[in-house]
């Protein structure tokens, strides 16, 4: 595993591993113990340009490559991940503080998305559409957009890089990937290494490890990429969308959430507790779909709260390398400070801390808060850490109103003894995804994934990848002679 952080601490541009030429380094730290994993000299605006130009050159031949031949690359990449699964899991644990359970979950999904990319290479289909003009044949081709820029986040960096990179490549595009500064290896150079070893032609996938302090908007403003796929906060996503629109680029945005898990009066309380604890505290709560808010019918609030608090208190916090650990470190000290500040602000506003976790370095113990004032801004924002807000409600109408009372609309869940009651409830919620009698954190390779409101634009996965990473082209053929008015 450690060799990843020495061998891959470089830029990957036009099939070459090389250091950046920037004047400073990104230092890659283990968030649990502060160990320095790697030092990577950043890429400059010039190197971003080189990466995009390389992708544009390589893409032209790749787009005309038989899709069955393209497919073979993804089959090989899948086998390589399976062969290297243990080392990749260790890298995920080291670089982002994920537990072994989380690393296994991320790798499982990454493999599923690669399997889908194998099929996606053969998915684009053309059409012949009737014409009102005699002798005219309208052909509609589905073609690659050209080059896609991918910006991936720190929380599931390996998965969320592959989730856009693999389908974009499978559909005949070139890609330039910019991973998050806190996860440059798992989210960037490791992905490039796997595809390089799988036989992807040089130049098609490039990785630039850099920072906006160095390159500004160069990554998204560059004239080569036609689509920018961004996963991250809604604040940055808004900026990405604005810049893309001003340059006539398409943006695919997977942004933050403020999901609610709702427990109706006829729910299986023990099961709902298990679902809620997982949905809030998986990967330290650093998940866009995490259940920030747990809404419980007032008639069962007392029993639910007692069991929820007991389960949260049982979660082991500590070294992510320990198989018993459920909650490891958050990604960095600023994140730890931000989560701690949320708890203190809620208490200052009058909330009751049923569990008041302490913070030691990047280890943030779980907190459970209730009696948060209904007008508190905290209930409407995303909290990227192990803090749950328990909120009682009186009847379904109030529950629907509370769930929808947020700028976000990504995921959510409802628990009930009546499945159709749950489906009817789900239909009333303004989210891109909602789950009946389950958790809020789900992703599957062929189901449309994405949000409403501030949670994003567009969808990923399955057929929606065609909309994201291809475009249509109309070519008409006139059989015989066409008539013209002059």
Give one DSSP letter per residue of 365-404, joined into a string.
Answer: --EEEE---TT-GGGGS---SSEEEEEEESHHHHHHHHHH
Residue 242 CA: distances (Å) to CA of 130, 257, 317, 449: 38, 20, 40, 22
pLDDT attached to residue 339: 98
Q: Residue 344 contacts by C-beta under 8 Å, 6 or more apart in sequence?
A: none
On whether the CB atoms of residues 52 and 225 are closer than 8 A, the answer is yes
Interval 349-355 mean pLDDT = 98
329 burial type by CB count under 10 A (0-12 exposed, 13-18 middle, 19+ buried): buried
Could you tell me the two tokens for 408? 């976000």
Q: Which residue in 254, 303, 382, 420 is the catalytic one?
A: 254
Q: How confident is the model at residue 94 (pLDDT cuts 50, 70, 90)?
A: very high
pLDDT, tens digit, for every residue of 217-245?
999 999 999 999 999 999 999 999 999 99
pLDDT recorded at residue 418: 98
Q: Which residues pair with 263 in a beta bridge?
A: 296, 415
Dihedral, 169, 175, 181, 185 alpha carbons, nearest 10: 50
The per-residue pLDDT for range 117-160, each reduced to its tens digit, is 999 999 999 999 999 999 999 999 999 999 999 999 999 999 99
How confident is the model over 337-353, as a mean pLDDT? 98
SS3 at position 329: coil
Cα separation, 132 vs 138, whole angstroms: 10
Residue count of the chain, please give it.
Answer: 486
Write the CATH number of the domain with boundaries 259-436: 3.40.309.10
Q: List 412's β-bridge partners, or say none.
A: 260
Residue 274 has pLDDT above 80, yes or no: yes
Query: Band of the pLDDT at 458, cuts 50, 70, 90?
Result: very high
Give the residue from 391, 454, 445 showing the smallest Cα distance to 78. Answer: 445
Q: What is the rounded average pLDDT for all residues in the chain? A: 97
CATH code for residues 2-255+455-474: 3.40.605.10
Q: Quote the pLDDT of residue 104.
A: 97
Q: 155 is written with which tokens?
A: 């929380």
d(Cα 205, Cα 12) in Å, to the nearest integer? 8
pLDDT at residue number 44: 98
Residues 286-303: what's their mean pLDDT? 98
pLDDT band at 445 (very low <50, low <70, confident <90, very high): very high
Task: Decide if pLDDT at 394 tops 60.
Answer: yes
Is residue 254 annotated as a catalytic residue, yes or no? yes
Mean pLDDT of 399-408: 98
CA angle 367, 33, 177 (to 5 degrees): 90
Q: Measured in whole angstroms, how far is the alpha carbon of residue 175 from the centre of its chain?
A: 17
Q: Show me where the domains of the chain are located.
A: 2-255+455-474, 259-436
Read off the pLDDT of each residue in 190-204 and give the average, rounded to a whole number: 98
pLDDT of residue 466: 96
Q: Which residues contact 183 (CB under 8 A, 6 or more apart)?
A: 28, 95, 96, 152, 154, 157, 331
Look at residue 87 and tell me whether its pLDDT is greater than 80: yes
Residue-level pLDDT at 1: 53
For residue 329, pLDDT beyond 90: yes
pLDDT of residue 143: 97
- The mean pLDDT value for 1-13 works out to 91
pLDDT at 107: 98
The pLDDT score that the predictor gives to residue 2 is: 66
Tell me which residue has tokens 């996860």. Answer: 183
**pTM, to two decimals:** 0.98
Sort strands 11-13 and 250-254 into parallel, antiparallel or unpaired: unpaired
- Percent of the chain scoring above 90 in pLDDT: 99
């Amino acid at each position: 595993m450690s060799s990843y952080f020495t061998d891959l601490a470089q830029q990957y541009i036009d099939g070459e591993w090389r250091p950046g030429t920037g004047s400073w380094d990104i230092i890659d730290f283990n968030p649990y113990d502060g160990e320095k994993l790697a030092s990577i000299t950043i890429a400059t605006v010039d190197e971003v340009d080189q990466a995009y130009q390389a992708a544009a050159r390589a893409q032209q031949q790749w787009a005309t490559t038989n899709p069955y031949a393209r497919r073979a690359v993804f089959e090989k990449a899948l086998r390589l991940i399976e062969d290297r699964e243990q080392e990749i899991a260790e890298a995920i644990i080291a670089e982002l503080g994920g537990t072994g359970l989380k690393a296994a979950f991320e790798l499982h999904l990454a493999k599923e998305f690669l399997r889908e990319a194998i099929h996606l290479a053969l998915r684009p289909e053309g059409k012949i559409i009737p014409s009102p003009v005699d002798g005219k044949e309208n052909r509609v081709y589905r073609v690659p957009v050209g080059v896609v820029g991918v910006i991936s986040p720190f929380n599931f960096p390996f998965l969320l890089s592959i989730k856009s990179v693999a389908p974009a490549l499978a559909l005949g595009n070139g890609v330039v990937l910019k991973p998050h500064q806190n996860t440059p290896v798992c989210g960037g150079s490791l992905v490039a290494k796997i595809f390089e070893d799988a036989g992807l032609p040089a130049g098609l996938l490039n990785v630039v490890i850099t920072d906006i302090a160095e390159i500004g908007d160069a990554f998204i403003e560059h004239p080569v990429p036609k689509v920018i796929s961004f996963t991250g906060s809604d604040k940055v996503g808004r900026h990405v969308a604005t810049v893309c629109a001003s340059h006539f680029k398409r943006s695919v945005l997977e942004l933050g959430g403020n999901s609610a898990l709702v427990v109706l009066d006829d729910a299986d309380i023990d099961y709902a507790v298990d679902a809620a604890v997982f949905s809030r505290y998986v990967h330290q709560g650093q998940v866009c779909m995490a259940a920030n808010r747990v809404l419980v019918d007032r008639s069962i609030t007392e029993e639910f709260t007692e069991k929820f608090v007991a389960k949260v208190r049982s979660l082991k916090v500590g070294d992510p390398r320990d198989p018993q650990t459920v909650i490891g470190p958050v990604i960095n000290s600023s994140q730890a400070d931000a989560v701690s500040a949320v708890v203190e602000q809620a208490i200052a506003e009058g909330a009751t801390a049923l569990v008041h976790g302490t913070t030691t370095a990047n280890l943030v113990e779980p907190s459970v808060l209730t009696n948060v004032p209904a007008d508190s801004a905290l209930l409407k924002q995303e909290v990227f850490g192990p803090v749950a807000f328990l909120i009682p409600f009186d009847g379904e109408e109030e529950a629907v109103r509370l769930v929808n009372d947020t700028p976000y609309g990504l995921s959510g869940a409802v628990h009930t003894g009546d499945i159709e009651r749950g489906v009817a409830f789900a239909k009333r919620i303004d989210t891109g995804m909602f789950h009946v009698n389950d958790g809020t954190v789900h992703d599957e390779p062929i189901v449309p994934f994405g949000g409403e409101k501030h949670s994003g634009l567009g969808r990923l996965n399955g057929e929606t990848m065609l909309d994201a990473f291809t475009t249509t082209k109309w070519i008409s053929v006139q059989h015989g002679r066409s008539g013209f008015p002059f």
